[in-house]
Amino acid sequence: MLLKEDQENLCISQEGEQLVLKQETETFTLTLTEDNISAEDERLDHRGNKHSLFNHHFIIHTSQKPYCCEQCHKCFRTKSNLLIHMTIHTGEKPYCCEQCHKCFRSKAHLVRHRRTHTGEKPFSCNTCGSKFSQFSALKEHKTIHTGEKPYSCEQCEKCFRSKANLMVHMRTHTGEKPFSCNICETKFRQFSTLAQHKTIHTGEKPYSCEQCEKCFRCKPLLVRHIRTHTGERPFSCYKCEKCFSSSSELRVHTRIHTGEKPYSCEHCKKIFRSKTNLVVHMRTHTGEKPFSCNICGTKFRQLSTLTNHKTIHTGEKPYSCEQCHKCFRSKGNLVVHRRTHTGEKPYSCEQCEKRFRSRPNFMRHMKTHTGVKTCSWDIHKRFHTGWEGFTCSSSMNKHRRTHPGEKMTLENTGLLSRQRPVIHQEL
């Protein structure tokens, strides 16, 4: 090929390594070898890439998404993002981890995954120094300091710190649950919730506490548990400034102030502030008691009730009052006891305005207005006197002492049946 061009050559002088500029016009013959072609292609690619990077950046400002998927019509800013998206439909995962052989749809996902093995966290917060393995995680974290919630729901105007959280929230309106368990077919709104759920079937608990070696199914549960050691309660109520160790506890607590009870029972239409309370309540209809004591075999609807029950066998009273050092078997009993110091009586009767420290005492008082007597002593078979009703078990026990030497049965229903088992006692 014959080429003619103005060129500026760099020549090395005879005196040494000094570079000398030489300008001239000359005609020369260039034989196109594979190396020449390759070099020229690289130059053209470089110029093209530089131009495409500018176009890619410019599209960010225009919000233009010219590349669309033919199958689901989702659009993207770049062709590379479209190609990565297409692997969702094809199922292709060409990038595999050398250590655990887990495969991914894109190289970026593989790079991100490798950091789980290396522990690398290259992105750090310039405010608190927290480190993250992903830039997106750092970006989302920074909104904690700024209070910024730039993503809002069009339907309920609720705001979120990240686009991902908004997308998950939108599914509460649409009812969409795209992630399903391949064992029990339970469906979930988030992939992370599905991954956490699967450990129920496998029994896997990969996250362990360094202090007490207790193991957990997912990292959020471990983080929440660690706060029991550190005493950290980073989530505070905007209204009463009460602090909590997890955001979910705070969310349930704020409903006390708002009066919101979003969970309702399908059987009796009773409503609850949290899904946990609804699940426990449902067991009153099904009769399910999944938690049993390994010492006496007594069964309970809640794990917390079983935990409290076990202290009867151990004699343990782990909850102590800071003021008088009196100890209690359950946290609930301690909370009620503290009110003797503070004078707080949060339960008030609407009919006579009398106030009470505990809910059981309040419920017992309400029966004096309604006339309901839930505790009965069945002695009609021996004395042919029918049955006599009492508003509380203490009144019945007092009456029971007037019939010595007989085998009596305490029948509790309603609230009392959930507090103590049926008693068969020889007097």
Q: Return the percentage of the chain with pLDDT > 90, whole number.
A: 28
More confident residue, 72 or 420: 72
Q: What pLDDT is recorded for position 140?
A: 86
**Identical fold at 66-120 and 263-344?**
yes
- The mean pLDDT of 234-251, rounded to a whole number, is 88
Q: Are 160 and 149 in contact (CB under 8 A)?
A: yes
Q: Is residue 26 pLDDT above 50, yes or no?
A: no
More confident residue, 335 or 373: 335
Return the CATH class of domain 263-344: alpha beta
Q: What pLDDT is recorded for position 203?
A: 86
In the block, tokens 């993002």 appear at: 81
Q: What pLDDT is recorded for position 11?
A: 37
Q: How far is CA 13 from CA 17, 24, 26, 244, 424, in A?
A: 7, 17, 20, 78, 114
Distance CA 349, CA 369 (A): 10
Distance CA 273, CA 278 (A): 8
More confident residue, 57 or 217: 217
The three-state secondary structure class of 131 is strand
* Cβ burial, residue 420 (10 Å; 0-12/13-18/19+): exposed
Least confident of 65-69, 266-270, 419-423: 419-423
Distance CA 425, CA 252 (A): 41
CA–CA–CA angle 130, 134, 140 (5° rounding): 65
Distance CA 169, CA 151 (A): 11
Confidence of residue 36 (pLDDT cuts 50, 70, 90): very low
Distance CA 85, CA 108 (A): 13
Q: Are 390 and 399 in contact (CB under 8 A)?
A: yes
Confidence of residue 401 (pLDDT cuts 50, 70, 90): low
Tokens of 250: 């705070």
Q: What pLDDT is recorded for position 169?
A: 92
Q: Are 67 and 78 in contact (CB under 8 A)?
A: yes
Q: Is residue 292 pLDDT above 60, yes or no?
A: yes
Q: Is residue 130 pLDDT above 60, yes or no?
A: yes
Q: What pLDDT is recorded for position 143?
A: 87
Q: What would the pLDDT profile of 329-372 be if each residue is shown by its tens digit?
A: 888 889 999 999 999 998 889 888 899 998 888 888 888 887 76
More confident residue, 400 or 140: 140
Q: Return the percentage of the chain with pLDDT > 70, whole number.
A: 73
In the block, tokens 């979003």 appear at: 262
Distance CA 81, CA 71 (A): 15
Q: What pLDDT is recorded for position 51?
A: 56
Q: How many residues in total does the chain contain? A: 427
Q: What pLDDT is recorded for position 85?
A: 86
> What are the sequence ranges of the domains in the chain?
66-120, 263-344, 372-426
- Fold classification of 66-120 (topology level): Double Stranded RNA Binding Domain (3.30.160)
Mean of per-residue pLDDT scores for the chain: 77
List the beta bridge partners of residue 158.
none
Q: Are 121 and 138 in contact (CB under 8 A)?
A: no
Q: What would the pLDDT profile of 256-290 be if each residue is shown by its tens digit?
A: 999 999 999 999 989 999 998 999 999 999 999 99
Total-model pTM: 0.44
Q: Which amino acid is at 427?
A: L
The CA-to-CA distance between both ends of the chain, in Å, stands at 119
Q: Is residue 193 pLDDT above 70, yes or no?
A: yes
